[in-house]
Amino acid sequence: EVVLLLAQEGLLSIEEVYTDGTKIEANANKYTFVWRKAIATNKEKIKKQLAHIWEYAQSVATAEDSLPDPPDFTTISKEKVQDTVDKLNQVLGKKENIDKKMKAKLGYVTKHYPSNIARYEQQEAILGERNRSGGPQL
């Protein structure tokens, strides 16, 4: 209809008209946005959960476990998270009477936290100074 209207107005000729049927998948839903505040909130949750599990590990650790003071999470990185998770698994993995809830938490942390922190670091690099990335910029 637009082409016919433009032809009637004399703005174009319709001797040859080509159409393109290309379909492009859109990906602009609310789940593609990354908010700086959400990243910060999630990183704080990770810090608190790791500190909680570390406190538990210290309460059941023996002298030969050589579990040091909790790691300093003032700055958090994927390496620091991975090292913490590895140490927790090393200490708690060989214990017999570990609380089942704590063991489940450690399993979840081991599976998800290192990759989550790596993703947050990548998203923060993309964000730069902005508060949001992804989707159309308003």
Query: Looking at 3-7, 108-112, 131-135, which range is the least confident one?
Result: 131-135
Strands 132-133, 34-35: pairing is: antiparallel
Q: Record the tokens describing residue 129, joined without a space.
A: 């100074």
Would you state the pLDDT for residue 115?
93
Number of structural domains found in the chain: 1
Would you state the pLDDT for residue 28?
66
In a domain, 105, yes or no: yes
Higher pLDDT, 10 or 131: 10
CA 72 to chain CA centroid, Å, is 21
Contacts of 124 (CB under 8 A, 6+ apart): 36, 39
The stretch 40-60 carries a mean pLDDT of 91
**Rounded Cα–Cα distance for residues 131 and 124 (Å):** 9
Residue 96 lies in domain: 47-60+71-127
In a domain, 110, yes or no: yes
Question: How does pLDDT run across 90-104, given as a tens digit for each residue?
Answer: 888 878 888 889 989
In a domain, 109, yes or no: yes
* Residue (of 85, 97, 86) closest to 61 by Cα position: 97
User: At 137, is the pLDDT very low, low, confident or very high (cuts 50, 70, 90)?
Assistant: very low
Q: Is the pLDDT of residue 109 over 90?
A: yes
In a domain, 98, yes or no: yes
Q: Is the pLDDT of residue 108 over 90?
A: yes
In a domain, 21, yes or no: no
In a domain, 120, yes or no: yes
In a domain, 92, yes or no: yes
- The structure's pTM equals 0.67
In a domain, 55, yes or no: yes
For the chain, percent of residues with pLDDT exceeding 70 = 88
